[in-house]
Amino acid sequence: MKNVDHIGIAVKNIDDSLDYYIHTLGLTLLAIEEVASQKVRVAFIDAGNIKLELLEPMDEGGAVAKFIEKRGEGIHHIAFGVTDIRSRMVELEEKGVQLLSDKPKPGAGGAEVAFLHPKSSFGVLYELCEKRDKGE
């Protein structure tokens, strides 16, 4: 893993929570977009050395909607920046980690993403995230 790219935070409504992040905490909004493949609307916030990704469910049956229903709003996942995501997935699978898809999926900002099951990661949902520019 290269770095922690971002922390995903489940919220019921991005518009309601943005004021807290931008005006109360004084952080900067980078972008808002819809990620259809994950059934979420996301807002990326610059928190200095890391980004926060607010995740608002777009669909009642989606992963984030279920998470909020079961656990309430809060930290949802930690995303590692990687290069060559397909090789990382094979390596992790060979080491016994349960992946939540057999191929990467399109994520926010044009990244390719894949998730590791919290049951094989000591209770944490981890994301692998490969940026298109292969940079961060």
Binding-site ranges for ligand CMX (CB under 6 A): 8, 35, 38, 40, 42, 53, 55, 63-64, 66-67, 70, 76-77, 100, 107-108, 115, 117-118, 123-125
Q: How far is the CB of 118 from ligand CMX (least distance, A)?
A: 3
Phi, psi of 131 (to 5 degrees): -75, 150
Which CB contacts under 8 angstroms, 24+ apart, belong to 63-69? 63/38, 63/39, 64/10, 64/38, 64/39, 64/40, 65/39, 67/10, 68/10, 68/12
Measure the CA angle with vertex 58, ends 53 and 59; round to 5°: 130
For ligand CMX, the closer of residues 21 and 115 by Cβ is 115
For ligand CMX, the closer of residues 24 and 106 by Cβ is 106
For ligand CMX, the closer of residues 90 and 124 by Cβ is 124
Q: How far is the CB of 69 from ligand CMX (least distance, A)?
A: 9
